[in-house]
Amino acid sequence: MKAGRIVFLCLAVAGSSLSGCGNGLASVSGTVTLDGQTAGGTDRYGTVSFYRESGGGAPAIGIIDESGHYVLKTGSQDGIEPGTYLVGVAIKKVTPPASPGDMPQAKLISPAKYASVVQSGFKEVVKTGRNSIDFSLSSK
């Protein structure tokens, strides 16, 4: 009988980890490229921002890592509510400070239109579960 309880407990734990934490958020991740090249790098900082098309609600933001990959978070939670979103993508080149005590400088290297959720032309539908959404930006 003791072995049966252990098996049941193991199955219950495994089942709860497969179903997620029940927060109703979908996972969204992907890769960003600029002119066919990875958007990430040690001297770059970039973000992907999802704003609900209907307005309202908290935006979801993903930080573009060195490999050009991002994962969306809404506040401190991983994921985003399913729905239709307008998306903005901004990539900046970070220049180290000229002298000690100065702040690093960041210059937008992706076209400004992509940073605006209204002008970017990016509109995405996020479905329940896992979503992979890539963005290809062009400076031309």
pLDDT given at position 26: 97
**Max Cα-Cα span within the chain:** 71
Strand stretches in the chain, DSSP E: 27-34, 37-38, 44-52, 60-64, 69-71, 73-74, 77-78, 83-95, 105-108, 122-126, 130-132, 135-137
CATH of range 25-126; options 3.30.450, 2.40.50, 2.60.40, 3.20.20: 2.60.40
Is 34 in contact with 83 (CB distance < 8 Å)?
Answer: no
Q: What are the beta bridge partners of residue 74?
A: 77
d(CA 134, CA 115): 15
Average pLDDT, the chain: 87
pLDDT given at position 11: 41
pLDDT given at position 129: 97
How do residues 9-25 score in pLDDT, each as one tens digit?
A: 444 444 433 444 557 89
Instruction: Sketch the domain layout of the chain as residue ranges.
Output: 25-126
How do residues 87-112 score in pLDDT, each as one tens digit?
A: 999 999 999 888 888 998 999 999 99
